[in-house]
Amino acid sequence: MVNAKEISNFLGTTTIVVGDSKKVVYKISKIIPGKVGTLSFCKYEDGRAKGLISRSRSSIIICSSQISLFVSDFIGKTFILVPQPRLAFMKAANEFFPWRDTPGIHPTAVISNAEIGKNVRIGAGTVIGGEGFGYMPDENGELIQFPHIGGVIIEDNVEIGVNVCIDRGALGDTIIGRGTKIDNLVHVAHNVKIGKNCQIICLVGIGGSVEIGDNSFVGISACIRNQIKIGKNAVIGMGAVVVKNVPDNMTVAGNPANPIPK
């Protein structure tokens, strides 16, 4: 149980409580239909917000500071006004209404040749540290595999979903940087280096020796060719086929992937 003032104090000095600051909530819910005793949020800043709020039964609603002019119209409702409602709701929910198990490795995950940092989550069916795919034909056309004697380094606060495959390095290591989040059904090939706080979404295939800079986002079903370098703060669009290096701060999409004008 927590009241509006406590939530506001936790969220910081940029928040404003409108209504009863002592009103309490016991859990979180969607804004529609909402429920008495719950905390919700409204992401809109226009007339849609007014419509949602009028229909919601939630006791406390986190809203954008931009709608401060009309929230006072709703007698009996309590609001916490913030610059970014969705982010504020996420922070409050995780602080006051924990919904996740403690970090850890699912018992069905298979891990070898890996160093695992602190506060790491690894989902069911994930395989980390298997051999990478690297072959070359000999003089008779027989495929000879390149040695894979490296490992996998997973830094602190990384989250890896279910049925993910992360290959060990060939002669070096595959590295997943601190704070990075990897969704379900992603393949990370040998010697890949993913930076800090990246988001890699489901069905992505990352070829060998790819480098991805800090804070980058790789969308659903994107494919990144081996040896490609992706800069910091880059965005790789859904279904993109990346065959050229991507500079810092660039958004690309399509097949082959090309820059999207801002």
CATH number of the domain where residue 77 is located: 3.40.1390.10
Do 71 and 154 lie in one domain? The reply is no
Domain boundary among 68, 96, 124: 96
Do 78 and 8 lie in one domain? The reply is yes
- The answer to the question of residue 104 being in a domain is no
Backbone angles phi, psi at 248, to 5 degrees: -55, 145
The pLDDT, as a whole number, for residue 13 is 80
User: pLDDT tens across 153-169, in order?
Assistant: 999 999 999 999 999 99
Q: Does the pLDDT value for residue 241 go beyond 90?
A: yes
- The answer to the question of residue 228 being in a domain is yes
Do 87 and 138 lie in one domain? The reply is no
Q: Does the pLDDT value for residue 261 go beyond 90?
A: no
Q: Is 7 in contact with 14 (CB distance < 8 Å)?
A: no
Reference 228, options 16, 35, 240; nearest CA is 240
Q: Does the pLDDT value for residue 71 go beyond 80?
A: no
Q: Does the pLDDT value for residue 100 go beyond 90?
A: no
Q: Does the pLDDT value for residue 151 go beyond 70?
A: yes
Residues carrying an active site annotation: 190
Do 114 and 91 lie in one domain? The reply is no
Q: Does the pLDDT value for residue 70 go beyond 80?
A: no
Q: Does the pLDDT value for residue 35 go beyond 90?
A: yes
Do 246 and 117 lie in one domain? The reply is yes
Range of the domain at 218: 110-259
Do 82 and 153 lie in one domain? The reply is no
Q: Mean of the pLDDT values across residues 72-88?
A: 89
Do 178 and 254 lie in one domain? The reply is yes
Domain boundary among 96, 131, 147: 96
Output the six-digit token pair for 261.
Answer: 């004008």
Instruction: Give the pLDDT band of residue 56 (cuts 50, 70, 90).
Output: very high
* Sheet of strand 193-194: strand arrangement: 114-116, 152-154, 174-176, 193-194, 211-212, 229-230
CATH of residue 194's domain is 2.160.10.10
- The answer to the question of residue 152 being in a domain is yes
List Cα–Cα distances, 169 to 79, 110, 148, in angstroms.
51, 16, 6
3-class DSSP assignment, residue 252? strand
User: pLDDT tens across 189-229, in order?
Assistant: 999 999 999 999 999 999 999 999 999 999 999 999 999 99
Do 147 and 179 lie in one domain? The reply is yes
The alpha-carbon radius of gyration of the chain (Å, integer) is 23
Do 89 and 212 lie in one domain? The reply is no
- The answer to the question of residue 101 being in a domain is no
- What is the C-alpha to C-alpha distance for residues 39 and 30, in angstroms, rounded to an integer? 8
Instruction: Give the pLDDT band of residue 68 (cuts 50, 70, 90).
Output: confident
List Cα–Cα distances, 247 to 82, 89, 174, 213, in angstroms.
33, 33, 21, 9
Choose between 167 and 53: higher pLDDT. Answer: 167
Number of domains making up the chain: 2
Query: Which one-letter amino acid corresponds to residue 254?
Result: G
Query: Which one-letter amino acid corresponds to residue 55?
Result: R
Q: Provide the mean pLDDT of the chain.
A: 94
Output the six-digit token pair for 49.
Answer: 């917000």
